């Protein structure tokens, strides 16, 4: 579905993403993991078409990814992106004006499912409740690819669990894919098909989760550590 | 909360074991309907693809039957369930024997301990 080929991205002459290639197939949930500053957010922004690679190619279903790809790719940044004076309701309305694939009805179903308050101003909500609104707005779109940057960061375990379950429930795994970056590797691992490990902007490995458990008897965190150590030596 | 999984075995295999265990213990009755793939995924907090694999595996083991348009059901073939019980017992016994062998215990010693209830 989405293909990266030898992608290079530099910021002030420094390579942030360095010669990265991989393919995201349809129907999978894929985690991007790695230390802080390894390039996870930049990688997601490149995939969303918000940044342009200096070299290499990014294609979604054989078409070059650009800013206009936003009509097929639902990207959710890791910052609080909405005005504090907006209510969830207003965020949804804004989304329905911005994105033709957005369904107000679906967003409301998801918000209800997450027990998110849609009539309270975001500035008055807890971080967990703002994250619920953000997830409902993002999943309210019918995109072929969802890119979620740190969707669970800084949330309490209950909020994390309900967001994870919403992902399982509201993603149509026959036709859609999800790529999410995360530090909460242990918690997210059971819903991942594959993991991408980044280090210093390079792709260290991309592997199927069940294979990591089956062949190496490791979970994702141990796998990450063992690969990191290998590189140091 | 989402159930915990041990790290050294694929999640699908752990879920297969869990469902088989529930059948043997009688928590799941012959002919009982299993939740839909998505429902089971949500319940256990795993990927839908993983549950699809679990259901495929159970079907291949003839532990379940899929009726078109109706869902997946635990087999009504009690003989098959009996067989699974035997298979599981053999499996546990083999593991046990390997372990006591590696520690140098004799079967006779162990039988005494087992009779005492450990």
Q: Span B24-47, mean pLDDT?
A: 93
Question: For residue A222, is pLDDT > 50?
Answer: yes
Domain boundaries, chain A: 2-232
Q: Would you call B12 and A210 a contact, using CB atoms and an 8 Å cutoff? A: yes
pLDDT at position A230 = 74
Is residue B55 domain-shared with residue B11, that is, in the same domain?
yes
Sequence-ordered list of residues with C-beta below 8 angstroms from that of A132, at least 6 positions apart, any chain = A111, A114, A115, A116, A159, A162, A163
Q: Span A30-48, mean pLDDT?
A: 94
Q: Span B7-24, mean pLDDT?
A: 91
pLDDT at position A232 = 58
Q: Would you call B7 and A161 a contact, using CB atoms and an 8 Å cutoff? A: no
Element (H, E) at A132: helix A127-139
Q: Span A76-97, mean pLDDT?
A: 88
pLDDT at position B3 = 57
Is residue B57 domain-shared with residue B99, that is, in the same domain?
no
Range of the domain at B17: 1-76
Question: For residue A108, is pLDDT > 60?
Answer: yes
Is residue B7 domain-shared with residue B65, that is, in the same domain?
yes
DSSP-assigned letters across all residues of A146-196: EEEESTTTT--HHHHHHHHHHHHHH--TTT-EEEEE-S-HHHHGGG-SEEE
Give A-chain residues touching B16 at CB under 8 angstroms: none
CB-CB contact of B73 with B32 (8 Å): yes
Is residue B94 domain-shared with residue B40, that is, in the same domain?
no
Return d(Cα B45, Cα B4) in angstroms, integer. Answer: 9
Q: Span A185-201, mean pLDDT?
A: 92
Is residue B13 domain-shared with residue B69, that is, in the same domain?
yes
Q: Where are the alpha helices (DSSP H) in chain B?
A: 11-24, 37-44, 48-60, 78-103, 107-116
| % of chain A exceeding 90 in pLDDT | 70
Q: Which of A29, A161, A213 sits opposite B47 (nearest CB)?
A: A29
The CATH homologous superfamily to which domain A2-232 belongs is P-loop containing nucleotide triphosphate hydrolases (3.40.50.300)
Confidence of residue A154 (pLDDT cuts 50, 70, 90): confident
Closest among A192, A229, A231 to A211, alpha carbons compared? A192
CB-CB contact of A15 with A176 (8 Å): no
Return d(Cα B115, Cα B108) in angstroms, integer. Answer: 11
Return d(Cα A168, Cα B44) in angstroms, integer. Answer: 10
- Average pLDDT of chain A is 91
Sequence-ordered list of residues with C-beta below 8 angstroms from that of A175, at least 6 positions apart, any chain = A26, A27, A144
Backbone angles phi, psi at A206, to 5 degrees: -135, 120
The CATH number of the domain holding residue B21 is 1.10.10.10
Is residue B69 domain-shared with residue B39, that is, in the same domain?
yes
Residue A8 CA: distances (Å) to CA of A16, A56, A125: 8, 6, 39
Give A-chain residues touching B42 at CB under 8 angstroms: 165, 168-169
Distance (Å) from the alpha carbon of A171 to chain B's nearest alpha carbon: 9
Confidence of residue B117 (pLDDT cuts 50, 70, 90): confident
Does the predicted interface ipTM exceed a cut of 0.90?
no
Is residue B49 domain-shared with residue B17, that is, in the same domain?
yes
Number of domains into which chain B is organized: 2
Confidence of residue B1 (pLDDT cuts 50, 70, 90): very low
Is residue B30 domain-shared with residue B65, that is, in the same domain?
yes
pLDDT at position A50 = 93
pLDDT at position A84 = 85
Is residue B70 domain-shared with residue B83, that is, in the same domain?
no
**Cβ neighbours, 10 Å, residue B107:** 12
CB-CB contact of A140 with A103 (8 Å): yes
Q: A 75-104 residues with CB below 8 A of B?
A: none
**Which residue is it, tokens 């140091």?**
A232
Q: Span B37-61, mean pLDDT?
A: 93
Cβ neighbourhood burial of A224 (10 Å; 0-12, 13-18, 19+): buried
Confidence of residue A51 (pLDDT cuts 50, 70, 90): very high
Is residue B82 domain-shared with residue B103, that is, in the same domain?
yes
Return d(Cα B30, Cα B78) in angstroms, integer. Answer: 7
Q: B 2-41 residues with CB below 8 A of A?
A: 2, 5, 7-13, 38, 41
Q: Which of B8, B9, B47 sits opposite A190 (nearest CB)?
A: B47
Q: Which residue would you say has higher pLDDT here, B7 or B55?
A: B55
**Does any CB of chain B come closer than 8 Å to the CB of residue A28?**
yes
Distance (Å) from the alpha carbon of B44 to chain A's nearest alpha carbon: 9
Q: Span B10-35, mean pLDDT?
A: 94
Is residue B63 domain-shared with residue B86, that is, in the same domain?
no
Sequence-ordered list of residues with C-beta below 8 angstroms from that of B5, at least 6 positions apart, any chain = A190, B11, B14
- Average pLDDT of chain B is 91
Q: Which of A193, A219, A222 sits opposite B49 (nearest CB)?
A: A193
Any idea what DSSP says for residue B36? Answer: P
Is residue B94 domain-shared with residue B104, that is, in the same domain?
yes
Q: Span B30-46, mean pLDDT?
A: 93
């Amino acid at each position: 579905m989405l293909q990266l080929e030898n992608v290079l991205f530099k910021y002030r002459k420094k390579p942030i993403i360095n010669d990265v290639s991989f393919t995201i197939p349809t129907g999978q949930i894929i985690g991007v993991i790695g230390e802080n500053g390894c390039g996870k957010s930049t990688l997601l922004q490149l995939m969303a078409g918000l940044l342009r690679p200096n070299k290499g190619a990014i294609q979604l279903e054989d078409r070059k990814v650009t800013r206009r790809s936003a009509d097929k790719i639902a990207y959710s940044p890791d910052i609080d992106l909405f005005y504090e004076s907006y209510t969830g309701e207003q965020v949804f309305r804004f989304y329905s004006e911005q994105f033709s694939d957005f369904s107000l009805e679906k967003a409301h179903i998801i918000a209800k499912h997450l027990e998110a308050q849609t009539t309270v101003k975001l500035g008055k909500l807890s971080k967990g409740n703002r994250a619920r609104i953000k997830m409902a707005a993002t999943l309210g779109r019918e995109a072929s690819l969802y890119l979620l940057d740190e969707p669970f960061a800084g949330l309490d375990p209950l909020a994390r669990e309900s967001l994870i379950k919403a992902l399982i429930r509201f993603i149509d795994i026959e036709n859609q894919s999800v790529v999410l970056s995360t530090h909460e590797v242990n918690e997210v691992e059971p819903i991942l098909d594959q993991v991408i490990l980044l280090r210093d902007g390079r792709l260290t490995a991309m592997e199927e989760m069940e294979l990591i458990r089956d062949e190496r008897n490791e979970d994702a965190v141990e796998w990450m550590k063992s690969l990191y150590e290998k590189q140091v030596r | 909360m989402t159930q915990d999984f041990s790290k050294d075995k694929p999640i699908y295999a752990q879920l297969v074991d869990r469902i088989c265990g529930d059948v043997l213990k009688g928590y799941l009755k012959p002919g009982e309907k299993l939740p839909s793939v998505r429902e089971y995924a949500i319940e256990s907090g795993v990927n839908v693809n993983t549950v699809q694999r679990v259901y495929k595996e159970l079907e291949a083991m003839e532990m379940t039957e899929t009726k078109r348009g109706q869902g997946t059901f635990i087999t009504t073939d009690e003989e098959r369930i009996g067989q699974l019980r035997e298979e599981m017992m053999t499996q546990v016994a083999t593991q046990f024997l390997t372990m006591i062998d590696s520690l140098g215990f004799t079967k006779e010693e162990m039988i005494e301990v087992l009779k005492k209830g450990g």
